[in-house]
């Protein structure tokens, strides 16, 4: 590959340092910065360059109204999702999921057995953890699974492009679990599916939730070199 002077160190640091922010300041990110973030994420690779993602950047009074509707719906126990949600966590996946929950609740001082406090914390998703902006990211229904994979890569790029500009984020499948509310609010056509929300804003560094950091497995658990026919 031609030497392009790419900054591997900076890129790796970006990946290592980004975290899911669950406590935001109220001050808004300038629209130009949000546009730059979306512009950068436009470079995401996709199946046959189909670029199946779309972002509705919900902000201002629209954000307040959407939060209110989502919070009311989720509090009532309603659930609707355009995509199949994981339900069966086994083995190491269940362990990692539990560990992530423990780390977050420990940071917040919520006891494991305090179901009510955990449920209330879960509902904070629908206030976007206080973020002034939420990106609602949708995919194309008809192109199926690989389109959704492309959209996942786009979401990752969106978060890293934001972080590179000092903008914190939290990907939120919780938003996709209220897809009827989102669909109606945005008047989404039938061929779009809600993949997730991404809360965006400046991190409240003093918020206890932001003390939680999630570890990763060793690279050897996720990487196998194949040098001989297995
Ligand atoms: C597709 C996706 C959906 C997620 N949904 C939620 C969510 O609804 N609420 C939440 O608090 N975190 C959510 N997360 C954040 C994960 O819990 C987080 O990425 C994981 O624990 C690793 O932590 P880190 O992002 O801080 O490194 C989601 C992450 C992804 C990639």
Q: What is the pLDDT of residues 50-63, one digit of tens each?
A: 999 999 999 999 99
Atom of ligand 1 nearest to the CA of 100: 21
Q: What is the pLDDT of residues 65-112, one digit of tens each?
A: 999 999 999 999 999 999 999 999 999 999 999 999 999 999 999 998
Is 110 contained in some domain?
A: no
Is 112 contained in some domain?
A: no
Is 119 contained in some domain?
A: no
Is 224 contained in some domain?
A: no
**Residue 208 DSSP SS3:** helix
pLDDT the model gives residue 3: 63
Share of the chain above pLDDT 90, in %: 96
Is 12 contained in some domain?
A: no
Atom of ligand 1 nearest to the CA of 174: 8
Q: What is the DSSP string of 64-125?
A: HHHHHHHHHHHHTT--B-SSPPP----HHHHHHHHHHHHHHHHHHT--TT-HHHHHHHHHGG
CATH number at residue 37: 3.40.109.10
Is 138 contained in some domain?
A: yes
Q: Which domain holds residue 36?
A: 21-86+127-209
Atom of ligand 1 nearest to the CA of 152: 1
CA of 213 to the centre of ligand 1 (A): 11
Which DSSP category does 203 fall into? B
Is 170 contained in some domain?
A: yes
CA of 214 to the centre of ligand 1 (A): 10
Comparing C-alpha atoms, which of 182, 200, 201, 202 is closest to residue 192?
A: 182
CA of 99 to the centre of ligand 1 (A): 13
CA of 185 to the centre of ligand 1 (A): 23
Q: Mean pLDDT in the chain?
A: 97
CA of 101 to the centre of ligand 1 (A): 11
Residue 230 has pLDDT above 70, yes or no: yes
Is 182 contained in some domain?
A: yes
pLDDT the model gives residue 95: 98
Q: What is the number of domains present in the chain?
A: 1
Taking CB atoms and a 6 Å cutoff, what residues make up the pocket around ligand 1?
19-20, 22, 100, 125, 170-174, 196, 214
Q: What is the pLDDT of residues 111-157, one digit of tens each?
A: 989 999 999 999 999 999 999 999 999 999 999 999 999 999 999 99
Give CA–CA dist 23/182, Å, rounded.
22
């Amino acid at each position: 590959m031609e030497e392009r002077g790419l900054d591997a160190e900076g890129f790796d640091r970006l990946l290592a340092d980004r975290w899911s922010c669950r406590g935001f300041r109220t001050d808004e990110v300038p629209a130009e910065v949000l546009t730059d973030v979306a512009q950068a994420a436009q470079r995401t690779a996709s199946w046959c360059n189909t670029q199946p993602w779309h972002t509705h950047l919900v902000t201002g009074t629209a954000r307040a109204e959407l939060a209110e509707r989502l919070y009311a719906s989720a509090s009532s126990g309603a659930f609707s999702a355009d995509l199949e949600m994981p339900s069966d966590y086994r083995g190491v996946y269940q362990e990692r999921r539990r560990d992530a929950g423990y780390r977050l609740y420990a940071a917040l001082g919520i006891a494991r057995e305090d179901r009510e406090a955990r449920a209330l914390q879960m509902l904070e998703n629908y206030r976007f953890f206080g973020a002034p902006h939420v990106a609602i990211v949708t995919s194309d229904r008809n192109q199926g699974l690989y389109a959704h994979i492309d959209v996942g890569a786009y979401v990752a790029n969106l978060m890293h492009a934001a972080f590179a500009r000092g903008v914190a984020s939290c990907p939120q499948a919780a938003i996709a679990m209220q897809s009827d509310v989102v669909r109606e609010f945005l008047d989404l056509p039938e061929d779009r599916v809600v993949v997730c929300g991404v809360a965006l804003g400046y991190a409240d560094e003093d918020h206890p939730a932001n003390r939680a950091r999630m570890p990763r497995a060793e690279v050897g658990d996720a990487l196998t070199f194949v040098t001989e026919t297995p």
